Structure 1
Amino acid sequence: MANAGNGYHHQSYYKEGDKIIGGFMPITKAPLPHIHEFKSPPYLSKITQRVELKNYPHLLVLVYAVEEINKNLHLLPNVSLGFQIYNSVFDDEAALEGVWGLLSGQGKVVPNFNCGGDRKVVALIEGPTARHSFKIATTLGLYQFPQLSYGVLDPEWRRQAQSPSLYGMAPSRSYLLPAIGRLIRHFDWRWVGLIFSDSGREERVLETFTREIDKGDGCIAFAETIGKHDFYGKKLHRLLNIVHRSSANVIVFHATEAHLEAFRRQISLSYTQNKGQLLPFLKNVRFTNRAGEDVFFDKNRDVVTGYDIVNWAFSPSGTVNGIVVGSFWPWAAPGHELTVNVSLIQWESQFKQHPYSVCSKSCLPGYRKKHREGEQACCFDCEFCTAGEISNQTDMERCLRCPEDQHPNEGRDTCFPKVITFLAYEDPLGMALASLALSFCLLTACVLWLFVRCRNTPIVKANNRDLSYILLVSLLVCSLCSLIFIGRPERLTCLLRQNVFGVAFAVAVSSVLAKTITVVLAFKATKVGHGLRKWLRPRVSNSIVFGGSLVQVILCFVWLGSSPPFPENNTQTDDGQIVVQCNEGSIGFLYSVLGYLGLLAFASFTVAFMARKLPDTFNEAKHITFSMVTFCCTWISFIPTYLSSRGKNAVAVEIFSILASSGGILICIFTPKVYIILVRPDKNSKTFLRKK
């Protein structure tokens, strides 16, 4: 060290050159406290100074850099570079005194004047503390004097200083946390703890780090600060307990190397900082250093550089070896900023592969995330998708509903096309019902043939032969109309099936009612010339059948005119199926048709019940009573069964009710007559009737 001259008591180290680089470095620690009386210029006594060994290499680096530049003929051809390095002593007063001396020249402090003639000093390098950098920048900025700081500059302080001549040679902190965030997202760590230094920037560090973690859908498990002197004691012990209790396997430590050493067994990932080269021309400068790295400044006048990713491996002996396993270059092409060689990383022995750090395991396809109340967004449970919904990706917030023509598989992760279904003839159920319907048709046709063949016999003539024919034909139509319900529903079949069924049964039940009334009137008008005998004519019974059927016909026409049935694809009935069915248009008309049939049946039952004990060889009243009981029971039980059935099962219920009710009327009314005709022909004669 050499004294710079009279009146200026700042120590400096000088080397001659065509251009001089000024330097301010804290080679010694701050002097012991003392009071200046300002009776003479302040002087830093050598006795009060203590050498700062860790900063002495900074001076050697600057000297070495200048020598390397002078040796390189391509950097500054025909120009030699010198330096004048001052000891800033970690003291604002001493630093400002050196700045004024540097600007005035010849060791004299004369503000706004250059006492040195041709100024050789073209730039100033200083560091490493940012506080001294901004103190110096407030002065040098007034003169547009280039200032290069190798300390880490806080962006907020930099905006406050507003010095256009201050350039940063160390990587800006604005790139550091994004680099760490990018590394965390690379390994898909979503549950991360944060310990950072108590530097007055806690809120901004936490805000920036939270924003970076959010980009990977991650959360912060805990965030704790550590003070400058918290290397031992309760504070460190509390932090270690927090780390051990936390479920996070990844901890980001944003603090000093001394703090890192205290936590070295918990932290396996750190970072290093690169140092740039010096040039006197700072604007638009860009070159490649001897390490093959591009050196230039960004729009904020910070040197643009990257970060090495170092894996600290601990040997059995306790020594620490750092291995560079990757890098982060913020100005690389998007998606190529981070490079990591995972094969070089040596994880802690408890991890067989790269560690996972999540609050909750990912929800597999088929499940959705259900956030836990009162906890962070990263903590959730996995809930199986409900019926009709799927999730085809991991960690989905909500399940997706399948289209109407598709349904989910058992795992609820894929939608498959639904199977189109209806009551087909090929189905076992459809085949059985069709066979039963054809059997009833054949049986009814046989009875009708038998009655036509034996039309002149007493038993056929005694029970109103014409009404029997009408009843048998209507029962035949009832059995045949059940076949319309089987097969794929079309527009025509949907229009016909309920209406044909309703009218056919109306004719059948009206015929039964006419037969019953005829029996009652026959016994009431036994005397010749009785007034009721005129009601025994065939046209009266035919009028009853016609009138009873006409009401049903009118009701069906109103139904077809106002709200006709139509085919539709029901996608909501059964999972995995699309049921092709007939929409009845108005369910009220269907129940009106059934209600009218019930009214006719009740009237027939009432009249038949009253006439059941009338004396007559061929009295049908008892048989009609049983047939109407069967009819009513069938359709009363039909309604709840039909309403509780879905799809083709509902159709099968209606077909079975049609066949059961028509078969009940056929069997109850005509079985005794067929028995007499085929088995007891002796009772079917005039001789037998005379004996009775």
Structure 2
Amino acid sequence: MCWFSWLFTLWTSSAPSLLLVGLVGRQLGLKIGLQGVQTAICSRWGPPSDKSLFQDGDVIFGGLFHLHYQTPAIDHEFTQLQHYKPCTGLEYAPLQYMYAMVFALEEINDNPTLLPGVKLGYHIFDCCGQPMWANQAALSLAGGESSSCNLTKDSVDHPLPLIIGAASSIISEILSKTLGPLSVPLISYLSSCPCLSNKVQFPNFFRTIPSDIYQARAIAQLSIHFNWTWIGAVVENSSYGQTAIKIFQEETEGAGVCLEFIETVSLENIVNDAKRAALAIQASTARVILVFTWYTNVRELFLEVARINVTDRQFVASEAWSTSRDLLQHPVTRKVASGVLGVAIRSSALPGFENYLRALHPFHHPSDVFLREFWEAEFRCSPASLSACSGAESLEKVQNVFTDVSQLRVSYNVYLAVYAAAHALHSLLSCPNRDRPAANGSTCSSPKHIRPTELLQHLNNVNFTTPQGETFYFQDGDIPAQYDLVNWQNTPEGTLKLVLVGRVEGFDIHLNESLIHWNTGSSQVPTSVCSETCPPGTRKSNRKGEPVCCFDCIPCAEGEISNTTGSLHCDQCPLEFWSNPGRTACVPRQLDFLSFNETLGITLTTASVSGAVMTTAVFVVFLRYSQTPVVRANNSELSFLLLVSLKLCFLCSLVFIGRPSVWSCRFQQAAFGISFVLCVSCLQVKTIVVLAAFRSTRPGAEALIKWFGPGQQRGSVCLLTCVQIIICAVWLSLSPPVPKPDLGFHGSKFTLECSMTSVVGFSLILGYIGLLACTCLILAFLARKLPDNFNEAKLITFSMLIFCAVWVAFVPAYISSPGKYTVAVEIFAILASSYALLICIFAPKCFTILLRPEKNTKKYMMARCK
């Protein structure tokens, strides 16, 4: 609603005395007040519709119906006030409600015992579901037609004593407050908000539909009965939806029923709201969805639900859409909403009503603009143009919502409202309790001078038997709660039909479960719980920010068990035990180590042996071509020693695999430390030799090479290696590693590992290797720009970069790895660094020796050195 219409509604609600003055002035001939208000409304809003239905009579009842479903467009031009265009799209169901009012009035006029001598007329407006237009029409009816925006030639110039309407609770609230100071009774056939039961605020309001309190309670009882404890809800963003869901929550609060989500929808923004609600349904785990909203909103919701292909939800319907034929006939509904269980307005038969509807024809009712519009929509011709319609069109064989009288619900409420008003009027005109007696059998009050206040008093005391034999009375404006419980079931033809499966009478539910077909297509009640009971091996864990009835079943962590259903916590197993795969019992832990039989052991063994074989192959190649320039130019003696040390590096990794023993624990670290120091020492000496050879070519540096001849080279390698041997000997003699089970790592297996009783010794071994590697890297880096064919400084630089990177990454990986994977990490570091040295240093030489022999000549190498 625009801001101006909202202000007008607020003004009419908060200033009824002004309206009363205007209406009294009009009745006294002073028409300025009300007509001024009407003129202002008409000029700003435009007429709600140029269509109304009028029949003159001694007493005229007003009627308000929502006959069109397309919301009127609004011109938003910010240079002037908004202007509402007429709404379109004739709604067949409300049209039937309107004719139920006309039918009831004509039936009463033909009844010689009810209101004898009094002819009832009617003036019906289409308010299009808009509060401002409903207000305008109500003021027109209450104040006399001359105050309306659109006059008709059949208009009468006196106020109406009573209005039948409206179809919306919010509009009924507004109208009741607007007409309250005038004491004009308002009898609604579809406004079910519990707030309207407040007779202090709404003393002039009556209704023939039960309060939503009863349907919300009925749905709550159904949820409890079927043990649906986890439910989603889509509600109308109005008092209808908000109040219903509030009552539902209150009724189920102590029964363990929780709502996963509550999505609101409104007619003004239904497309976006329906998309949002459909996504919430898709994302939810609830399988039962309550929907408290108008059926046109449900139609959009189902379209969105079908678009995202959600077909496994059980919908529970409120009375606003549980019997909608439009939804039942829609193909999308059959896809996503079969098996709907809903609370419906109680149904009843109206004898003669079907014949009345089928006999309607615009040629017989030329002033009925609504019938003419219906005729144009149904038969695609305009009865206003004789050439367009043949005249043979008839409703005799038409099957649609308008002619369907198989289950009259809202139409029956309208029928009851008219009869309630007629009986109250009959009681008023009969005046059995007036001090002034009736003369000559005539009524003591004239139909032309009915005061709404008196009619209101008689409505409060009305009590009669309907033509169908039911007793009808008001309880403070309400009627006793009666509902049908209906189920949407598939037919062999592929359509949906309504099946009555129970009734609600007050707070009692009578349900025949065997008749219900659920959304699964079977008679098995769907399950909709937040969480199933947690089985053994799991524990309950409440979801953050969600109700306590909603929890997750979290599997017990490794080493913990739960052997009862619905356990709140898991118990830790003793240190020597571990949980079984089902987390239901503790079992003894198994011994584990890196063996030759498992996949990881086989892979590492294969890599180690392959590296040793490749090293041997390179050794053979160098030995075979030991006299070639490539081998001789790169210090063949150190190259052979380097290959031997690399082979030892590859083979030492095999010592780490297998069940640890006292001797294997001591030997593996010593073999690892000594072989790698031997390898790095060879590289360092080779690098020093390259630098010395290059520097010796400069004037005055001839003696440099003499101080680093073959003997000094061998001695340097031995000296550097002996340092590592001493470190290993001291460490292994004072505090050697010993095999020890590692119970600290929690798993089904405990690892038998070589425990480092002295971390200092292992650190010294690694530190010494690292010191030599860094020194070698620095020296190689300084010699990297020497002629490629004369030295291998670049190759050593690159290989040592990889070597250092591997062992830098080894330290954190070694510390953080659990169990036997600690050993696997160390083996991987050994193999990775060994392969890096073998490939980076010897692969280019082997390539030249085997595949480019023309480059393995002294002439070629000397040419490159120039």
Larger RCO: 1 or 2 (CA < 8 Å, sep 6+): 2
Q: TM-score, normalised by structure 2?
A: 0.35
